[in-house]
């Protein structure tokens, strides 16, 4: 049993104010794997006070020096990748191979991209040739509360901490109580890198406690949150009284539009993408829209591929998917699978219950529904599990109508060999990101959505700008 009962506040590990113990459950076994402490208001206040005190000095630190500290963090990160991978597999169920490559690897990737973007970013620039005495200055928003999820924990921590640190913000991180161990390793890395006391602080807690306290705290200037749309709405309400900046990365219900001329691997690629991380990704292509001439064949392929997906314990090596994070999620997914059956969608793979041979652990059968329509619950709600919903369409116009008929707008996908059509689709799909023919976005591309998928952009220049205020100066004097 791992015990992590201290918080990282003002450059040192600090005992919590009260014994609010919380058991972290290993989703592969349903057994406790760690005990942490949840913060109280006094712990939140202490962390915010430390960040507030450190803010003037950190903002005044030259950008080059802030970048150099993030570069030092990258060096240390390289020595802790296996520790991070093991922690994430244990606490949230990512299969070990995935945890090593994607879960742990994402953090290194984002930090390096922020360094590259920051070195090319003009934090102090002239307005333009027409106004030689006007300048635009980008300065830190201030004290930032960073509230991160359990599904891609290190991905989200580095997207927030890397940008905030370079921008000159001081910060308080509240990781998910479901996956806190990797965050505490990260705090050790920040300490080793030599960030000044108070620049980075960590307080464990749940959303109702520390999350709400940070969102409404008068000395917090910004909240950057990744998680559910429901929680994002609550954070926005809590932050409204102090008019703090709120950056939200929320849920999704992405459409993967497969036209009749799509490449032969498009359906298989879409199913495997959906199943990655056990379907626990906000940008998962969870609605597969297939043009009718190839629909029947696509359903057969999807069922075959889903039935070949192996399910097993997270800490076992090999290519498989692991459990979902906890019993609450498992029950929700089971209820939605049953809802799909009850509402008349055709179950062609998977279904309710655990996979054969797995009687303990929060394992879900890789599931595919066919013959759905966009008004069914499984097409409307974010399931956050390995469940794919297939919907037929006839025309390009119908595909756009179905894809956009959702409260979400994070990522959509297009599969076609017709370049003009692909470009048309990219322009009319209402989402913050569009990926085509298996081509993912490049380094430095912004991650974020529209509608109920949120309002922030993470990564690269846009990620930096989310933690910066724009100051316009007139009458700038020559020095």
User: How open is the CA angle 77-78-80, to the nearest 5 degrees?
Assistant: 65
| Catalytic member of 91, 169, 177, 282 | 282
d(Cα 390, Cα 378) in Å, to the nearest integer?
10
- In three-state secondary structure terms, 11 is coil
Tokens standing for residue 448? 């974020």
| Catalytic member of 249, 382, 435, 458 | 249
Residue 391 · residue 288 · CB < 8 Å = yes
Sign of the alpha-carbon torsion through 433, 436, 439, 442:
negative
| 3-state DSSP of 190-209 | HHHHCCCCCCEEECCCCHHH
The residue among 167, 186, 152 whose CA lies nearest residue 114 is: 167
The residue among 141, 288, 305 whose CA lies nearest residue 224 is: 141
- Phi, psi dihedral angles at 222 (to 5 degrees): -155, 145
In angstroms, what CA-CA distances link 434 with 155, 173, 253, 417? 20, 30, 13, 16
- In three-state secondary structure terms, 155 is helix
Clarify whether 249 is annotated catalytic. yes
Catalytic residues: 249, 282
């Amino acid at each position: 049993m791992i015990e992590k009962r201290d918080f990282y506040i003002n450059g040192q590990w600090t005992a919590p104010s009260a014994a609010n113990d919380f058991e972290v459950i290993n989703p592969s076994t349903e057994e406790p794997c760690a005990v942490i402490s949840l913060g109280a208001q006094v712990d939140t206040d202490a962390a915010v006070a430390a960040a507030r005190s450190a803010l003037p000095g950190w903002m005044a630190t030259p950008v080059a020096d802030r970048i150099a500290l993030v570069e030092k963090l990258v060096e240390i990160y390289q020595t802790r990748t296996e520790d991070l991978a093991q922690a994430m597999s244990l606490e949230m169920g990512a299969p070990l191979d995935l945890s090593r490559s994607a879960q742990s690897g994402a953090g290194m990737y984002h930090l390096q991209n922020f360094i590259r973007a920051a070195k090319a970013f003009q934090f102090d620039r002239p307005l333009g040739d027409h106004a030689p005495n006007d300048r635009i200055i980008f300065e830190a928003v201030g004290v930032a509360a960073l509230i991160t999820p359990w599904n891609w924990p290190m991905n989200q921590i580095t997207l927030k901490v890397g940008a905030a640190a370079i921008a000159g913000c001081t910060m308080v991180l509240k990781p998910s109580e479901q996956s806190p161990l990797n965050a505490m390793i990260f705090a050790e890395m920040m300490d080793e890198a030599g960030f000044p006391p108070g620049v980075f602080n960590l307080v464990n807690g749940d959303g109702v406690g520390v999350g709400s306290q940070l969102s409404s705290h008068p000395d917090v200037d910004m909240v950057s949150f990744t998680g559910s749309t429901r929680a994002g709405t609550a954070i926005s309400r809590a932050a409204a009284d102090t008019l703090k900046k709120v950056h939200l990365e929320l849920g999704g219900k992405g459409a993967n539009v497969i036209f009749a001329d799509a490449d032969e691997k498009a359906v298989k690629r879409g199913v495997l993408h959906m199943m990655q991380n056990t379907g626990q990704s906000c940008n998962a292509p969870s609605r597969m829209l297939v043009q009718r001439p190839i629909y029947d064949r696509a359903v057969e392929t999807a069922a075959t591929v889903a039935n070949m997906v192996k399910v097993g314990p997270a800490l076992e090596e090999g290519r498989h998917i692991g459990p979902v994070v906890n019993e609450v999620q498992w029950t929700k997914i089971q209820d939605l699978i049953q809802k799909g059956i009850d509402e008349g969608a055709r179950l062609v793979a998977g279904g309710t219950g655990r996979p054969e041979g797995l009687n303990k652990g929060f394992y879900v059968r890789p599931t595919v529904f066919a013959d759905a329509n966009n008004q069914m619950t499984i097409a409307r709600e974010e399931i956050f599990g390995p469940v794919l919903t297939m919907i037929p369409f006839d025309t390009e116009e119908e595909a756009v109508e179905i894809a956009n008929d959702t409260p979400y707008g994070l990522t959509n996908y297009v599969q076609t060999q017709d370049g003009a059509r692909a470009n048309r689709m990219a322009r009319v799909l209402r989402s913050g990101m569009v990926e085509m023919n298996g081509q993912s976005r490049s380094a430095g591309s912004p991650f974020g959505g529209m509608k109920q998928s949120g309002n922030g952009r993470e990564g690269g220049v846009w990620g930096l700008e989310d933690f910066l205020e724009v100051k316009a100066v007139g009458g700038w004097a020559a020095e």
